Structure formats: structure tokens, C-alpha cells
């Protein structure tokens, strides 16, 4: 058979996503929508204490409650649960505590699981939690990073003897990539120091985590709302000692992750163990409050920054000293998150001397781990804030200072002081376009006028000229960083007899639009209609190999594997097509889905070859009856998207309220497969980065209780809180992959946070302000204006109005 119409060029087309209808309506296979015969329901009891010894757990009442089949405590699981994996030992002497899925003797953060109930219904399981009585013996909490590393500090894990997990250092003089930073600082004409706080954030994905485990087959099947089904299967095998081939993991449609579902969770392990024990399917779906309190958090660092420069603006050195909050345990990649930033502090600039040192610290808080950008937003924030502070110190325009120090487009490929080789980029072009769209000069004039007349509302302009490393990652590089896995990705193509195509990808989507983008790429490559391509993912049975989705790796690594498999399909089809056309394979060319005898109009379609292979009646000697192929792609380098973001913020100096007036993002993500998906990623990314600047913060009280435990307190913004973004792109193709593409999933988040804070500080700098701590709440901004310089301490923790203070007496009466 042949296809109906000649397919047009798909790559570059802004197609609506195949996935949208089912994802938006929710009529799809979310894990919590799964119902299996005989399925039981689980609920978790979590510690209200941040740090305590468990002296007794009485489950006798819960066991008697209606519908209850099992109540288990950490003591029951102590021998079977193993220790949750940490795959990134950043140093040889890194200290890592045992990490039980269910606390056995001691709880180390509020929200840690201490018991679980399995019942016939979810309501009965929830009811029975109230029948469990836990006695705690309180231990001192460890909450503050600086206090945690003091000599006399209380210890989170006394057996480790310290709250320091590891210290990781990069020094350009030692590495031979640059000078000694202390010399640069000592001899500098200008030195600027600042300490920034990266507040703790919560990924707050839309779909709460959910797990169903069915132990009734030969393979135990786990459905999980995870970003990483393949890693999860491997880690279940390694953690629990179950044979890997006896476990199948399925990530069905997953409602967002942002790094928050790049994890092997206590809940997954506990559900697996109890389903296996009971011999029946078990479902667990967390509540939103459980998710906020116990799913891993992100950021939470103190960044001491020192930048050295000459009076003419030439940067001569950069020193970065970090304290990074691990929380109570090291989860899957917890210790490596701040280290990813080490390569990004030098950003787009030519910095001759660089020193980075990070100390990872334990506290009695929820573990931190990957969150959109993971290490790179922190680095980008700090360097972009420092460039503004340095510009102010030098009396230079902050854009001019950046231009003086950035890598020029003709200098690529460029090897940085932190050892990365940027393959391509054009910072001049992106900046020129952003300035034009923003009306930079016009807004500077308005800013001057408002200052002049002492307007209540002051205007500030914030700049972020960012780059980032993504497309994780060359396996050799990950190996050199002691990461516990490679960075390759797997893809495969199955040619069906009717000419339709199944694409298998190891990159497990959770909202990104892989099904659409991969279909576009394969449609072009094999010359088949977009509609004839189906993309399968997220099931270890259908996509047997994979390293999943994070670090903006799907397109640059995952799609490259698919492309490579498609090449193999064509190569396998060629001798068969030649046999069908009775010519030599060397005489064939493949284009638009057809093998054509060069110089003639004799041809056969790839679908005809697929059918011939299915029949296998007349194949060349020694040729197997299949043109299916798979491929594994290991990238040779990261990809380095970049861009220039400009933000205009109005600050109401009477109230401290910040209003974003305009935001221009010009991103360079190389070649674009689907501009609509890119636009969506940029918009969502911007909102998440702006949310760090203005709204979101996980706040703990002095007893270590999370105060922002509902979405009424943890302020995830909505469209109503955002300006209308102006976006555009420059297109400098990546030279390290055949598609010329770069990652886009994290760029907006990485770029936008410093643009917003720079704009706020710029608006009120003349009032004596040189920093406002994030999130820049109205009160913090107002206090900064009142007090000048640094913002004051945070607000109190009394119960005022609003949802956060509802108590048992609440409710309409």
C-alpha cells in the first residue's frame, strides 16, 4: 500500500499536541484512575515532629477498625525495606545516612512516614490512621544552615558525627583552566561581595504522586506517577533485592513533575512491599498536603559571592562559596544538584579565575533534590545579580558590562574556565532583539523621569543574559562526576505491515509533548504522515531501555536515539527495496518515504517494503524479515541554550507591591521541532522562575513544621498574576547533534528569576536598596525601602485570617 498524500515538512510546524485533549480533560490513564479487581487502598501516617525518637507505636485500635487488612510500622519493614538509593556520591568521603522508607526508631523531618494502613476502601484507610497512637521523644531540631555547621551544633544524624555531608571544590588554578581566584581578588580594582539566599521551593506538580502495585502476575507491575520508570525499576531491584526481570514499571500519563518526580520514593517502596505481602493490588495516592510536606523540595542554598573586576568592567575573578541544604536524607540525586551549578556560575562570561566550593548540609527538613533547573537556576541567579551589582559599583550600564565580558559569537566553540565547551551561541543577536522588543532605551528614560519626580511607583529594569547546560548528558562526563548512571537514551522503530509506525522512546514524557514532537521528526525522516506515527513510552515492557526525562534531555538525547533508529530502518529496508525493484542498493536514493532508482521514476514506498517484509515471501538471501531497528544515543556534549530576558517591574513604594509591567524573553534553543511546544515551555518556565522571585517559599516554623502546607499558603501563581509575555527566538543551531536542537524545558525558569529581582532592586536602588531577599514579598520590599540595604527578617507565625489558620472550630455554623 502507499500513503494517500505526500507528507509535507513536519519539523518546524506548530502543531497542536496529540496529547492535549486527553490530558486537559483528564479522561486518561492517570495512575489514580486505575482500578484493578480486588484492589486495596493504602494511607500513610506521617510524623508531625521534625526530629524525634519513636518510643512506641500502638496500632491495636487501627487493626480493629472496619475494612482494615493491615497496619504496618517501620519495625515491621525494617528487614525488608532496605535504604532508599542515592545515585550521586559526589565525593569519596561523602556522608550518607541510612534512608528507610518508613522510619524505624527515629524521625528526621516532619512528614516522614511512620506507619501505613491498608484497607478495603480509601476512606476506611484514612479513618484508621486515627486509630494509631505514636509516642515520640523529641530531639532538638536543626533548621538553619549556618548554625548546623557550627562546632556545637545539634546533629540530625548523631552517628555521622557531623551535619556536613560533603564538600565539593572546583578551582581553576588547580584544574589548569585559569588563574588563582584569591590573587585575582587581591589585585582587583573593584571587588563586590554579596550573600544571596535561594529559598526553599516545592515543585508542586499538578498531579499528586500516585502508585498502584499489582503483585498477581509473574511480574509485579507498578504504575507510578513518576518521571523515571526505568530508573525506578532498576532501583527497586537494587534496593529491595527483587529480581529486576520480575518487575515491570509503568508511568502512564503523568501530570507534571518539574524534577519532583525524578525520585525513587518511600511511598513506592512501601506500596510495593505491602502489595507483595498481601498478594493483592494496592493503591496509594497522596493528598496535596502530604505532597507539599514530604515530596522532595528544591533549591535552599546560601550563596556567598565575590566578584573581582577592573575599573573598565573587565571581570578578573569569581569566587562562589555555597551551603546547600540536603534536608534530612540524601535522595536520588540530592547531593549533585548544587554541584551541577558549579559549571554555570561563569555563565556566558570569560572569567579568568574561578573558585567554587559547596558544602552539603543535613537539616531536619524535607529532603531536597532536583527541581526545574537543578543547580543552574541558583548559579544563573547569583551571577546575574552580581553583574548588576558590579555594574552599579562601576557606574556602568548593566547590559554594557555584560557585553564587555561575554563570549563573542565568533569565539565559539569556547572552552570555559569551568571546563565545559560551549559549541555555539550568539549572545549579541539575542540581546539586540530583546532590546528592540523591550524598548530598552524608552523604559530607561521613563525610569529617570519617575525618579526625577519622586513618583510613588518606581520603575526598574532587570536583565538576565543566561545560558545553561542541558541535555543530560555525555555518559563519560557523568562518570567523571561520580554520577551513578550514564546519560544515553534509547529509541526504536517498529514498522507495521500496514505502513504505520510505532516509535518507542526511553524518554518518559510527563506532559512535555514527546508524542507530537517525535511523530513530527519520524514523519519527516521516514516520509510517512504525522498521523501514521504512534509514540510509545513509559512502560518498561514496551520501551525496555531508557533513562527517562529530566535535565532538558528528551529532544537532544532521546529524539536523537529515535532518529538514529530511523536511519537503521532505512538502511535495513534498502536491500529489500533493491530486491523488489531489481536494482542494486547503491542505485537507490531514499526521499519522501520512497526508494527511487536514481535517474528514473521507478520507486517503491517504505510501506511497501514493510508489507513485503511481513509476508517475507520474497526477500534477498540472508536478509531477516524485519526492518525494525533500535538505537542508543550517547551525546558527545551538553547543549547550551541561551537567551536575553528583560523585565520591567513597577514597585509601589508605599506598599512594596511589585507589578511586572512587561517581560521580554528572546531565547536561542537552536533548531525548533515544534514552535508551539517551545512557546509553552518558555511560558511555563517563566512563570515558575518568576514565582521564585515573587511568590513561592516553603516556610518552616521554629519547631520544624512546614507552615506552607497547603496551596493557600504556598503561593503558586496563576495567569492572573503574570504579565503577558513577549517572546521571540534567535536560532543558532547546536553543532553537537544532527537535529541542531538544544533543550528548552528549563530555560525559562533558569533565566527569569534574576531578571525579576534585578528589576526590583533597580527600581528602588536610589532609595538605598541593594538586595531584596526572595521571594520579594510586598513586606520585604517595603521594609527594604524603609531600612535601606538588606531586607528585614521574615514575618511572624501567628494565626491570622485565611485558610492557613482554619482550625477545628472553623467552618460555617
Interface residues with other proteins (CB under 8 A) are 122-123, 126-127, 130, 287, 289, 654-655, 657, 694-695, 699, 707-708, 710, 712-713, 715-718, 720-721, 777-779, 782-783, 795-813
Query: Could you tell me the smallest distance in angstroms from the CB atom of residue 808 to other proteins?
Result: 5
Question: d(Cα 564, Cα 320) in Å, to the nearest integer?
Answer: 41
Cell numbers representing residue 51 in the block: 526530629
The residues, any chain, with a CB within 8 Å of residue 801's CB and separated by 6 or more, are none
User: Judged by CB, which is closer to other proteins: 161, or 811?
Assistant: 811
> At its nearest, how many Å lie between other proteins and the CB of residue 419?
41
Least CB distance to other proteins at residue 790 (A): 16
Minimum CB distance to other proteins, residue 781 (Å):
11
* Cβ-based nearer residue to other proteins, 31 or 108: 31
Task: Give the nearer residue to other proteins in terms of CB position, either 105 or 655.
Answer: 655
Do residues 355 and 172 lie in contact, with contact meaning Cβ atoms separated by under 8 Å?
Answer: yes
Of 223, 204, 366, nearest to 281 (Cα)?
Answer: 223
Q: Sheet holding 642-652: strands in order across?
A: 457-467, 642-652, 658-668, 725-729
Q: CB-wise, 481 or 722, nearer to other proteins?
A: 722
DSSP lists the bridge partners of residue 659 as: 650
Q: How far is the CB of 795 from other proteins (least distance, A)?
A: 5
Nearest distance, CB of residue 499 and other proteins, angstroms = 47
Ramachandran angles phi, psi of 27, nearest 5°: -85, 75
In whole angstroms, the minimum distance from the beta carbon of 428 to other proteins comes to 37
Query: Buried b / exposed e across 16-34, counting CB within 10 Å, b at 16+?
Result: ebbbeeebeeeeeebbbeb
Cβ proximity of 304 and 203 under 8 Å: no
Cell of 372: 526545574
Q: Residue 61 or residue 721: which is nearer to other proteins going by CB?
A: 721
Which is nearer to other proteins, 588 or 690 (by Cβ)?
690
DSSP element (H, E) containing 693: helix 675-694
Cell numbers at 272, concatenated: 510495593
Q: How far is the CB of 165 from other proteins (least distance, A)?
A: 30
In the complex, what is the shortest distance from the CB of residue 541 to other proteins, in angstroms, rounded to a whole number? 33
Closest CB 284 distance from other proteins, rounded Å: 13
Q: What are phi and psi of 267, to 5 degrees?
A: -65, -35
Return the number of the residue (127 or 515) whose C-beta is nearest other proteins.
127
Whole-number minimum distance, CB 208 to other proteins, in Å? 11
Question: Which is closer to other proteins, CB of 67 or CB of 89?
Answer: 67
CB atoms inside a 10 Å sphere around CB 7: 18
Buried b / exposed e along 736-766 (16+ C-beta atoms within 10 A): bbebbbbbbbbbbbbbbbbbbbbbbbbbbbe
- Would you say 167 or 710 has its CB closer to other proteins? 710
Q: Of 67 and 592, which CB lies nearer to other proteins in the complex structure? A: 67
Task: Quote the CA–CA distance of 715 and 696 in Å, as a whole number.
Answer: 5
- State which residue, 66 or 140, has the beta carbon closest to other proteins: 66
Q: Let me know: does 734 contact 639? Beta carbons within 8 Å.
A: yes
- With 0-12 / 13-18 / 19 or more C-beta atoms within 10 angstroms meaning exposed / middle / buried, residue 245 is exposed
Using an 8 Å Cβ cutoff, are 438 and 664 in contact?
yes
Amino acid at each position: 500500500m502507499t500513503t494517500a498524500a505526500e507528507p509535507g515538512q513536519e519539523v518546524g510546524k506548530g502543531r497542536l499536541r496529540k496529547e492535549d485533549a486527553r490530558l486537559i480533560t483528564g479522561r486518561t490513564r492517570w495512575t489514580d484512575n486505575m482500578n484493578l479487581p480486588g484492589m486495596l487502598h493504602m494511607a500513610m501516617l506521617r510524623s508531625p515532629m521534625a526530629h524525634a525518637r519513636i518510643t512506641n507505636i500502638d496500632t491495636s485500635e487501627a487493626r480493629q477498625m472496619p475494612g482494615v487488612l493491615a497496619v504496618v510500622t517501620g519495625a515491621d519493614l525494617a528487614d525488608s525495606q532496605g535504604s532508599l538509593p542515592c545515585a550521586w556520591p559526589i565525593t569519596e568521603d561523602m556522608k550518607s545516612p541510612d534512608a528507610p522508607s518508613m522510619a524505624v526508631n527515629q524521625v528526621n523531618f516532619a512528614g516522614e512516614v511512620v506507619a501505613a494502613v491498608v484497607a478495603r476502601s480509601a476512606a476506611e484507610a484514612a479513618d484508621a490512621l486515627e486509630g494509631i497512637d505514636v509516642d515520640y521523644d523529641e530531639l532538638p531540631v536543626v533548621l538553619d544552615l549556618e548554625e548546623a555547621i557550627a562546632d556545637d551544633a545539634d546533629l540530625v544524624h548523631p552517628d555521622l558525627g557531623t551535619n556536613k555531608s560533603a564538600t565539593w571544590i572546583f578551582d581553576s588554578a588547580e584544574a589548569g583552566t585559569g588563574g588563582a581566584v584569591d590573587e585575582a581578588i587581591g589585585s582587583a580594582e573593584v571587588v563586590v561581595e554579596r550573600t544571596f539566599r535561594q529559598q526553599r521551593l516545592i515543585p508542586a506538580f499538578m498531579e499528586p504522586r500516585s502508585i498502584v502495585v499489582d503483585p498477581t502476575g509473574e511480574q509485579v507491575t507498578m504504575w507510578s506517577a513518576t518521571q523515571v520508570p526505568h530508573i525506578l525499576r532498576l532501583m527497586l531491584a537494587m534496593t529491595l533485592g527483587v529480581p529486576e526481570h520480575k518487575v515491570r514499571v509503568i508511568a502512564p500519563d503523568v501530570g507534571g513533575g518539574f524534577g519532583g518526580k525524578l525520585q525513587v520514593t518511600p511511598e513506592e517502596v512501601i506500596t510495593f512491599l505491602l502489595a507483595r505481602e498481601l498478594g493483592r493490588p494496592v493503591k496509594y495516592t497522596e493528598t496535596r498536603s502530604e505532597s507539599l510536606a514530604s515530596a522532595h523540595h528544591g533549591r535552599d542554598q546560601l550563596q556567598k559571592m565575590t566578584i573581582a573586576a577592573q575599573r573598565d568592567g573587565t571581570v578578573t575573578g569569581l569566587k562562589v562559596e555555597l551551603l546547600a541544604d540536603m534536608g534530612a536524607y540524601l535522595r536520588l540525586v540530592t547531593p549533585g544538584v548544587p554541584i551541577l551549578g558549579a559549571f554555570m556560575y561563569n555563565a556566558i562570561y570569560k572569567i579568568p579565575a574561578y573558585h567554587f566550593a559547596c558544602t552539603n548540609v543535613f537539616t531536619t527538613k524535607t529532603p531536597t533534590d532536583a527541581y526545574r533547573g537543578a543547580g543552574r537556576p541558583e548559579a544563573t541567579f547569583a551571577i546575574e545579580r552580581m553583574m548588576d551589582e558590579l555594574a552599579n559599583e562601576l557606574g556602568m550600564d548593566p547590559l554594557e558590562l555584560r557585553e564587555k565580558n561575554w563570549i563573542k559569537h565568533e569565539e565559539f566553540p569556547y572552552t570555559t574556565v569551568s571546563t565545559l565547551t560551549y559549541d555555539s551561541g550568539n549572545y549579541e543577536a539575542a540581546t539586540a532583539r530583546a532590546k528592540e522588543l523591550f524598548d530598552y532605551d524608552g523604559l530607561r528614560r521613563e525610569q529617570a523621569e519617575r525618579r526625577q519626580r519622586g513618583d510613588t511607583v518606581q520603575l526598574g529594569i532587570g536583565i538576565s543574559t543566561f545560558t545553561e547546560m542541558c541535555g543530560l548528558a555525555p555518559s563519560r562526563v557523568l562518570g567523571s562526576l561520580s554520577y551513578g548512571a550514564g546519560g544515553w537514551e534509547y529509541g526504536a522503530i517498529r514498522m507495521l505491515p500496514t505502513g504505520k509506525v510505532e516509535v518507542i522512546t526511553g524518554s518518559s514524557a510527563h506532559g512535555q509533548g514527546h508524542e507530537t514532537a517525535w511523530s513530527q521528526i519520524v514523519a519527516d525522516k521516514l516520509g510517512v504522515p504525522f498521523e501514521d506515527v504512534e509514540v510509545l513510552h513509559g512502560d518498561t515492557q514496551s520501551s525496555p531501555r531508557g533513562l527517562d526525562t529530566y535535565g532538558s534531555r528528551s529532544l537532544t538525547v532521546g529524539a536523537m536515539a529515535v532518529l538514529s533508529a530511523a536511519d537503521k530502518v532505512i538502511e535495513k529496508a534498502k536491500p529489500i527495496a533493491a530486491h523488489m525493484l531489481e536494482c542494486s542498493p547503491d542505485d537507490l536514493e531514499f526521499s519522501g518515504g520512497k526508494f527511487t532508482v536514481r535517474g528514473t521514476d521507478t520507486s517503491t514506498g517504505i510501506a511497501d517494503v514493510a508489507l513485503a517484509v511481513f509476508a517475507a515471501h520474497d526477500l534477498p538471501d540472508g536478509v531477516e524479515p524485519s526492518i525494525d531497528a533500535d538505537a542508543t544515543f550517547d551525546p558527545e556534549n551538553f547543549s547550551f541554550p541561551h537567551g536575553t530576558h528583560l523585565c520591567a517591574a513597577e514597585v509601589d513604594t508605599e506598599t512594596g507591591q511589585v507589578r511586572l509591567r512587561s517581560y521580554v524573553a528572546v531565547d536561542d534553543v537552536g533548531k525548533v521541532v515544534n514552535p508551539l511546544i517551545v512557546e509553552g515551555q518558555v511560558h511555563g518556565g517563566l512563570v515558575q522562575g518568576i514565582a521564585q522571585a515573587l511568590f513561592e517559599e516553603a516556610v518552616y516554623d521554629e519547631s520544624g513544621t512546614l507552615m506552607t502546607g497547603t496551596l493557600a499558603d504556598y503561593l503558586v501563581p496563576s495567569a492572573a498574576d503574570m504579565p503577558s509575555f513577549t517572546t521571540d527566538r534567535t536560532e543558532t543551531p547546536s553543532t553537537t547533534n544532527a537535529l541542531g536542537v538544544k533543550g528548552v524545558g528549563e530555560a525559562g525558569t533558569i533565566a527569569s528569576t534574576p531578571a525579576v529581582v534585578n528589576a526590583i532592586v533597580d527600581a528602588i536602588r536610589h532609595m538605598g536598596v541593594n538586595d531584596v531577599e526572595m521571594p520579594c514579598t510586598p513586606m520585604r520590599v517595603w521594609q527594604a525601602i524603609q531600612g535601606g540595604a538588606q531586607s528585614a527578617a521574615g514575618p511572624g507565625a501567628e494565626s491570622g485570617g485565611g485558610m492557613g489558620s482554619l482550625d477545628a472550630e472553623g467552618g460555617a455554623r
